Amino acid sequence: MADTKTLSGLNYSPAMDEKTHEQTYRGFIRFVEIGTVTVLCWVVALAIGGVHEAWITAIVGVLVSWGLAALGSFVPAVGWKAQAVLLAILLGILFLS
């Protein structure tokens, strides 16, 4: 059963480590953002391969998205933004080719 004596709205109980909790939450959110944009890049790359028969472009798109995901994981300032640029490029290739 939950201990309701320690619940105080938005405040943390003394037993909880607020700094670690917030760092873990921010890390999880960054992971979800990067993972979502990575999967979108893969889907668009597969669409490029399937629609335009440009499988080399699709493979390069997937490999570059992996590299940018690693970069975004280690450099929080970059995050998902570099992959968003790649996603825009891949969408341009898909719709303008």
Task: Using the predicted structure, report yes or no on whether residue 2 has a pLDDT greater than 70.
Answer: no
- What one-character DSSP code corresponds to residue 40? H
| pTM assigned to the model | 0.81
Q: What is the average pLDDT value for the chain, to the nearest integer?
A: 89
pLDDT tens for 46-85 read 999 999 999 999 999 999 999 999 999 999 999 999 999 9
User: What are the CA-CA distances from residue 93 to residues 23, 35, 44, 87 (Å)?
Assistant: 37, 22, 9, 10
Judge contact between 83 and 37, C-beta under 8 A: yes
Judge contact between 83 and 72, C-beta under 8 A: yes
Judge contact between 27 and 79, C-beta under 8 A: no
Strand residues in the chain grouped as ranges (E): none
